[in-house]
Amino acid sequence: EVQLLESGGGLVQPGGSLRLSCAASGFAFSTYAMAWVRQAPGKGLEWVSGILGTDTTTYYADSVKGRFTISRDNSRSTLYLHMSSLRVEDTAVYYCIKTNNTGWFFGYWGQGALVTVSS
Amino acid sequence: EIVMTQSPATLSVSPGDGATLSCRASQSVRSRLAWYQQKPGQAPRLLISYTSTRATGIPARFSGSGSGTEFTLTISSLQSEDSAVYYCHQYNDWPLTFGGGTKVEI
């Protein structure tokens, strides 16, 4: 059974940093592209970032480019999202996602981690 | 950026009715269109990928169609548990983008 467990969310001041982790199990982690999608309170879904399985090619939404860094540790089956220069508008639930290797759609979602950026 | 527009924003239906949800892309996404269902307090769930391929465990009353820029999610014989927000998502081009969602009230 695929399981994705996010951690690291919390309250941070504007301009601060935070790192989200996603512990994956139940599948061959290193062979799948992974992604982060966020959802601001009461709003829709926004893709944030993606990373390929083994060559670590990364992709970012313009709204986070230069501030967020996605990475993975295949030996630990863990996905990361390092967020810096955080803004109030980054407040959201961040979902860790396992993609399908035939395309960048989102077959499995974690339960989400809430990040609140506020002074 | 490919803009995804969903309509209607809200759909009120009765149990047993059918529902048609629309999704329009600002440029062609070929068949790389997915649909998700999100219930309150839950993560989204994949319903359909590649326009019309149901995900594992999704009931046959959910079906998708379309191509290029116009797509439809059809839900036949709606049940109370189908109350949710439905999102379309294009994965043909970067950045990946979602529609704003259609809320289905039963």
**Which tens digits make up the pLDDT trace of A31-72?**
999 999 999 999 999 999 999 988 679 999 999 999 999 999
| Beta strand spans in chain B (E) | 4-7, 10-12, 19-25, 33-38, 45-49, 53-54, 62-67, 70-75, 84-90, 97-98, 102-105
Output the six-digit token pair for A14: 């504007």
pLDDT of residue A102: 85
CB B34 within 8 A of CB B49: yes
* Residue from B96, B102, B103 whose CB has the most chain A CBs within 10 Å, to mutate: B96
Of chain A, the percentage scoring pLDDT greater than 90 comes to 93
CA atoms within 13 Å, Cβ hemisphere of A36: 35
pLDDT of residue B57: 94
pLDDT at B52 over 80: yes
Cα–Cα distance, A83 to A94 (Å, whole number): 11
Instruction: Give the burial string for B72-105 (b: 16+ CB within 10 Å, else e).
Output: bbebeebeeebebbbbbbbbbbebbbbbbbbebe
What angle is formed at CA A95 by the lines to CA A91 and CA A98, rounded to 5 degrees? 155
Q: How confident is the model at residue A83 (pLDDT cuts 50, 70, 90)?
A: very high
pLDDT at A81 over 90: yes
Of chain A, the percentage scoring pLDDT greater than 70 comes to 99
Cα–Cα distance, A10 to A114 (Å, whole number): 6
Q: How confident is the model at residue A101 (pLDDT cuts 50, 70, 90)?
A: confident
pLDDT of residue A54: 81
Decide if A46 touches B, using CB distance below 8 A: yes
Reduced to 3 states (helix: H, G, I; strand: E, B; else coil), residue A88 is: helix
Instruction: Tell me which residue of A58, A71, A59, A63 sits closest to A92, measured CA to CA.
Output: A63
* Residue from A105, A108, A109 whose CB has the most chain B CBs within 10 Å, to mutate: A105
CB pairs under 8 A between A and B: 55
CA distances from B53 to A105, B59, B96 (A): 12, 12, 19
pLDDT per residue over A17-28, tens digit each?
999 999 999 999
Cα–Cα distance, A105 to A107 (Å, whole number): 6
pLDDT per residue over B5-37, tens digit each?
999 999 999 999 999 999 999 999 999 999 999
Decide if A61 touches B, using CB distance below 8 A: yes
pLDDT per residue over B60-104, tens digit each?
999 999 999 999 999 999 999 999 999 999 999 999 999 999 999
